[in-house]
Amino acid sequence: MKDKTVVVTGASSGIGEELAVLLAEKGARVVLAARDEVALARVKQRCEKAGGQALIVPTDVSDPESCRRLMARAVEAFGGIDVLVNNAGLTMRGRFEEVTDLSVFERLLRVNYLGAVYCTHHALASLKARRGLVVAVSSLTGKSGVPGRTGYAGSKHAMQGFFDSLRIELLGTGVDVLVASPGFVATPIRARALGPDGKTGHPDVAEEKGARIMDARTCARFILRAMERRDREWVMMPAPRVMLALKALAPGLIDRLAAWKIKNAPP
Protein backbone atom coordinates (compact mmCIF):
# COMPACT_ATOMS: atom_id res chain seq x y z
CA MET A 1 0.00 0.00 0.00
CA LYS A 2 3.01 2.32 0.05
CA ASP A 3 2.40 5.43 -2.07
CA LYS A 4 -1.07 4.16 -3.04
CA THR A 5 -4.05 6.51 -2.93
CA VAL A 6 -6.83 4.93 -0.89
CA VAL A 7 -10.30 6.44 -0.46
CA VAL A 8 -12.03 5.28 2.73
CA THR A 9 -15.67 6.13 3.34
CA GLY A 10 -17.04 6.02 6.87
CA ALA A 11 -13.55 7.01 8.00
CA SER A 12 -14.59 9.07 11.03
CA SER A 13 -14.79 6.13 13.45
CA GLY A 14 -14.75 2.37 13.89
CA ILE A 15 -13.39 0.09 11.19
CA GLY A 16 -12.93 2.95 8.74
CA GLU A 17 -10.83 4.98 11.16
CA GLU A 18 -8.63 2.07 12.18
CA LEU A 19 -8.16 0.92 8.59
CA ALA A 20 -7.17 4.44 7.54
CA VAL A 21 -4.51 4.60 10.28
CA LEU A 22 -3.16 1.16 9.36
CA LEU A 23 -2.95 2.24 5.71
CA ALA A 24 -1.11 5.39 6.75
CA GLU A 25 1.38 3.23 8.68
CA LYS A 26 2.02 1.43 5.38
CA GLY A 27 2.80 4.74 3.68
CA ALA A 28 -0.49 5.18 1.83
CA ARG A 29 -2.10 8.47 0.87
CA VAL A 30 -5.48 8.23 2.57
CA VAL A 31 -8.56 10.19 1.51
CA LEU A 32 -10.88 10.34 4.53
CA ALA A 33 -14.60 10.61 3.80
CA ALA A 34 -17.53 10.92 6.21
CA ARG A 35 -20.09 13.53 7.27
CA ASP A 36 -18.42 14.49 10.58
CA GLU A 37 -15.63 16.91 9.66
CA VAL A 38 -14.48 17.33 13.28
CA ALA A 39 -14.03 13.57 13.69
CA LEU A 40 -12.26 13.39 10.33
CA ALA A 41 -9.77 16.02 11.52
CA ARG A 42 -8.93 13.79 14.48
CA VAL A 43 -8.42 10.78 12.20
CA LYS A 44 -6.27 12.88 9.86
CA GLN A 45 -3.95 13.69 12.76
CA ARG A 46 -3.66 9.99 13.62
CA CYS A 47 -2.85 9.13 10.00
CA GLU A 48 -0.19 11.80 9.69
CA LYS A 49 1.34 10.79 13.01
CA ALA A 50 1.47 7.21 11.66
CA GLY A 51 3.55 8.40 8.71
CA GLY A 52 1.03 8.74 5.89
CA GLN A 53 -0.59 11.61 4.03
CA ALA A 54 -4.26 12.29 4.69
CA LEU A 55 -6.88 14.41 2.95
CA ILE A 56 -10.28 15.23 4.45
CA VAL A 57 -13.29 15.33 2.12
CA PRO A 58 -16.61 15.71 4.02
CA THR A 59 -19.02 13.39 2.21
CA ASP A 60 -22.57 12.13 2.47
CA VAL A 61 -22.50 8.84 0.55
CA SER A 62 -26.29 8.82 0.21
CA ASP A 63 -25.91 11.82 -2.16
CA PRO A 64 -24.51 10.85 -5.59
CA GLU A 65 -23.16 14.36 -6.23
CA SER A 66 -21.28 14.28 -2.94
CA CYS A 67 -19.72 10.97 -4.00
CA ARG A 68 -18.72 12.45 -7.35
CA ARG A 69 -17.02 15.38 -5.61
CA LEU A 70 -15.18 12.98 -3.30
CA MET A 71 -13.61 11.06 -6.17
CA ALA A 72 -12.87 14.23 -8.15
CA ARG A 73 -11.10 15.70 -5.12
CA ALA A 74 -9.03 12.52 -4.63
CA VAL A 75 -7.92 12.54 -8.26
CA GLU A 76 -7.18 16.27 -8.15
CA ALA A 77 -5.06 15.93 -5.02
CA PHE A 78 -3.19 12.72 -5.77
CA GLY A 79 -3.54 12.10 -9.51
CA GLY A 80 -5.75 9.03 -9.28
CA ILE A 81 -7.30 6.36 -7.07
CA ASP A 82 -5.67 2.99 -6.40
CA VAL A 83 -8.10 1.60 -3.84
CA LEU A 84 -11.67 2.45 -2.87
CA VAL A 85 -12.94 1.17 0.48
CA ASN A 86 -16.74 1.34 0.69
CA ASN A 87 -17.07 1.25 4.47
CA ALA A 88 -19.77 3.82 5.33
CA GLY A 89 -22.69 2.08 6.97
CA LEU A 90 -25.88 2.35 8.97
CA THR A 91 -27.55 -0.42 10.96
CA MET A 92 -31.01 -1.26 12.24
CA ARG A 93 -32.41 -3.33 15.03
CA GLY A 94 -36.04 -4.46 15.37
CA ARG A 95 -38.49 -7.07 14.15
CA PHE A 96 -40.21 -6.31 10.85
CA GLU A 97 -43.74 -6.69 12.27
CA GLU A 98 -43.04 -3.85 14.70
CA VAL A 99 -41.74 -1.36 12.11
CA THR A 100 -43.78 1.84 12.17
CA ASP A 101 -41.59 3.90 9.82
CA LEU A 102 -40.92 2.12 6.54
CA SER A 103 -38.63 4.92 5.37
CA VAL A 104 -35.94 3.31 7.53
CA PHE A 105 -35.50 0.67 4.80
CA GLU A 106 -34.84 3.36 2.19
CA ARG A 107 -32.31 5.07 4.49
CA LEU A 108 -30.44 1.81 4.97
CA LEU A 109 -30.36 1.15 1.24
CA ARG A 110 -29.19 4.66 0.40
CA VAL A 111 -26.23 4.48 2.78
CA ASN A 112 -25.21 0.82 2.79
CA TYR A 113 -25.98 -0.10 -0.82
CA LEU A 114 -26.45 2.95 -3.02
CA GLY A 115 -23.64 4.83 -1.27
CA ALA A 116 -21.26 2.06 -2.35
CA VAL A 117 -22.74 2.08 -5.85
CA TYR A 118 -22.35 5.85 -6.22
CA CYS A 119 -18.77 5.89 -4.93
CA THR A 120 -17.71 2.93 -7.06
CA HIS A 121 -19.29 4.42 -10.19
CA HIS A 122 -17.42 7.70 -9.84
CA ALA A 123 -14.11 6.04 -8.94
CA LEU A 124 -14.19 3.29 -11.57
CA ALA A 125 -12.43 5.07 -14.43
CA SER A 126 -9.45 5.93 -12.21
CA LEU A 127 -9.42 2.46 -10.65
CA LYS A 128 -9.29 0.89 -14.11
CA ALA A 129 -6.48 3.21 -15.18
CA ARG A 130 -4.45 2.10 -12.16
CA ARG A 131 -5.58 -1.55 -12.13
CA GLY A 132 -6.85 -0.91 -8.66
CA LEU A 133 -8.95 -2.55 -5.98
CA VAL A 134 -12.55 -2.06 -4.83
CA VAL A 135 -13.35 -3.08 -1.27
CA ALA A 136 -16.87 -3.50 0.08
CA VAL A 137 -17.15 -3.75 3.86
CA SER A 138 -20.32 -5.78 4.10
CA SER A 139 -21.39 -8.08 6.95
CA LEU A 140 -22.16 -11.70 7.75
CA THR A 141 -25.80 -10.59 7.48
CA GLY A 142 -25.10 -9.96 3.81
CA LYS A 143 -24.67 -13.71 3.40
CA SER A 144 -27.32 -15.10 5.74
CA GLY A 145 -30.44 -13.53 7.22
CA VAL A 146 -30.63 -12.67 10.91
CA PRO A 147 -33.86 -12.05 12.86
CA GLY A 148 -34.30 -8.45 13.94
CA ARG A 149 -32.05 -7.26 11.10
CA THR A 150 -34.33 -7.39 8.04
CA GLY A 151 -33.50 -3.89 6.80
CA TYR A 152 -29.79 -4.18 7.47
CA ALA A 153 -29.54 -7.70 6.02
CA GLY A 154 -31.49 -6.62 2.93
CA SER A 155 -29.11 -3.73 2.25
CA LYS A 156 -26.04 -5.91 2.77
CA HIS A 157 -27.43 -8.68 0.54
CA ALA A 158 -27.88 -6.03 -2.16
CA MET A 159 -24.30 -4.92 -1.62
CA GLN A 160 -23.03 -8.50 -1.90
CA GLY A 161 -24.94 -9.14 -5.11
CA PHE A 162 -23.78 -5.90 -6.69
CA PHE A 163 -20.09 -6.48 -5.99
CA ASP A 164 -20.22 -10.16 -6.98
CA SER A 165 -21.68 -9.06 -10.33
CA LEU A 166 -19.21 -6.19 -10.72
CA ARG A 167 -16.29 -8.54 -10.06
CA ILE A 168 -17.31 -10.64 -13.05
CA GLU A 169 -17.78 -7.59 -15.26
CA LEU A 170 -14.27 -6.41 -14.39
CA LEU A 171 -12.52 -9.66 -15.27
CA GLY A 172 -9.52 -8.86 -17.46
CA THR A 173 -9.40 -5.16 -16.54
CA GLY A 174 -6.90 -5.56 -13.71
CA VAL A 175 -9.41 -4.29 -11.14
CA ASP A 176 -10.12 -6.70 -8.28
CA VAL A 177 -13.14 -6.70 -5.96
CA LEU A 178 -12.96 -7.72 -2.30
CA VAL A 179 -16.06 -8.21 -0.15
CA ALA A 180 -15.23 -8.22 3.58
CA SER A 181 -17.88 -9.71 5.87
CA PRO A 182 -17.27 -8.96 9.56
CA GLY A 183 -19.57 -10.22 12.31
CA PHE A 184 -19.96 -8.40 15.63
CA VAL A 185 -17.38 -5.59 15.84
CA ALA A 186 -17.09 -3.00 18.59
CA THR A 187 -17.83 0.21 16.67
CA PRO A 188 -20.05 3.27 17.21
CA ILE A 189 -22.41 2.13 14.42
CA ARG A 190 -24.06 -0.31 16.81
CA ALA A 191 -24.78 2.38 19.41
CA ARG A 192 -26.46 4.49 16.70
CA ALA A 193 -28.68 1.71 15.35
CA LEU A 194 -32.04 2.70 13.95
CA GLY A 195 -35.11 1.17 15.55
CA PRO A 196 -38.55 0.15 14.18
CA ASP A 197 -39.64 3.78 14.59
CA GLY A 198 -36.80 5.01 12.39
CA LYS A 199 -35.09 6.80 15.26
CA THR A 200 -31.56 6.26 16.53
CA GLY A 201 -30.73 5.08 20.00
CA HIS A 202 -31.45 1.36 19.71
CA PRO A 203 -28.10 -0.16 20.69
CA ASP A 204 -27.24 -3.71 19.71
CA VAL A 205 -27.48 -6.15 22.61
CA ALA A 206 -25.00 -8.69 21.23
CA GLU A 207 -22.68 -8.32 24.22
CA GLU A 208 -25.48 -9.33 26.58
CA LYS A 209 -26.08 -12.53 24.64
CA GLY A 210 -22.52 -13.80 24.85
CA ALA A 211 -21.54 -13.04 21.26
CA ARG A 212 -17.86 -12.70 20.44
CA ILE A 213 -17.08 -9.05 19.80
CA MET A 214 -14.01 -8.19 17.74
CA ASP A 215 -12.35 -4.81 18.29
CA ALA A 216 -12.25 -2.46 15.32
CA ARG A 217 -8.46 -2.42 14.95
CA THR A 218 -8.25 -6.22 14.81
CA CYS A 219 -11.00 -6.28 12.20
CA ALA A 220 -9.18 -3.60 10.19
CA ARG A 221 -5.98 -5.65 10.28
CA PHE A 222 -7.79 -8.65 8.80
CA ILE A 223 -9.31 -6.51 6.06
CA LEU A 224 -5.96 -4.89 5.25
CA ARG A 225 -4.34 -8.31 4.93
CA ALA A 226 -7.09 -9.39 2.53
CA MET A 227 -6.56 -6.16 0.57
CA GLU A 228 -2.83 -6.75 0.26
CA ARG A 229 -3.49 -10.27 -1.04
CA ARG A 230 -6.25 -8.93 -3.29
CA ASP A 231 -8.59 -11.64 -2.04
CA ARG A 232 -12.12 -11.84 -3.40
CA GLU A 233 -13.68 -12.37 0.04
CA TRP A 234 -12.91 -12.25 3.73
CA VAL A 235 -15.33 -13.81 6.22
CA MET A 236 -14.82 -13.16 9.91
CA MET A 237 -13.89 -16.17 12.08
CA PRO A 238 -14.05 -19.90 11.27
CA ALA A 239 -17.48 -20.65 12.81
CA PRO A 240 -19.43 -18.37 10.42
CA ARG A 241 -17.55 -19.89 7.48
CA VAL A 242 -18.75 -23.34 8.55
CA MET A 243 -22.31 -22.06 8.94
CA LEU A 244 -22.26 -20.54 5.48
CA ALA A 245 -21.02 -23.83 4.03
CA LEU A 246 -23.80 -25.71 5.84
CA LYS A 247 -26.42 -23.26 4.61
CA ALA A 248 -26.35 -24.83 1.15
CA LEU A 249 -26.93 -28.29 2.61
CA ALA A 250 -29.28 -27.58 5.50
CA PRO A 251 -30.78 -24.09 5.21
CA GLY A 252 -33.55 -24.84 7.70
CA LEU A 253 -31.01 -25.76 10.35
CA ILE A 254 -29.14 -22.51 9.84
CA ASP A 255 -32.41 -20.58 10.17
CA ARG A 256 -33.11 -22.27 13.49
CA LEU A 257 -29.57 -21.62 14.72
CA ALA A 258 -29.87 -17.93 13.85
CA ALA A 259 -33.23 -17.70 15.65
CA TRP A 260 -31.79 -19.47 18.69
CA LYS A 261 -28.82 -17.12 18.78
CA ILE A 262 -31.02 -14.04 19.08
CA LYS A 263 -34.10 -15.50 20.76
CA ASN A 264 -33.60 -13.56 24.01
CA ALA A 265 -33.01 -10.20 22.32
CA PRO A 266 -35.83 -7.71 22.85
CA PRO A 267 -37.63 -6.50 19.68
Q: Known catalytic residues?
A: 152
Contact 62, 110 (CB under 8 A): yes
Provide the Cα torsion 146, 152, 157, 158; round to 10°.
Answer: 160
Task: Using the Cα atoms of residue 102, residue 105, residue 110 and residue 114 in order, give the sign of their dihedral.
Answer: negative
Sequence-distant (6+) residues with CB within 8 A of 246 are 253, 254
| Cα separation, 67 vs 90, whole angstroms | 17
Q: Regarding beta strands 133-137 and 83-86, do their DSSP bridges make them parallel or antiparallel, or are they unpaired?
A: parallel
| Cα separation, 249 vs 23, whole angstroms | 39
Query: Which residue, 46, 135, 41, 15, is CA-closest to 82?
Result: 135
Q: Can you tell me whether residue 32 is helix, strand or coil?
A: strand
| Cα separation, 13 vs 6, whole angstroms | 16
Contact 220, 229 (CB under 8 A): no
| Cα separation, 267 vs 262, whole angstroms | 10
**How many Å is the Cα radius of gyration of the chain?**
18
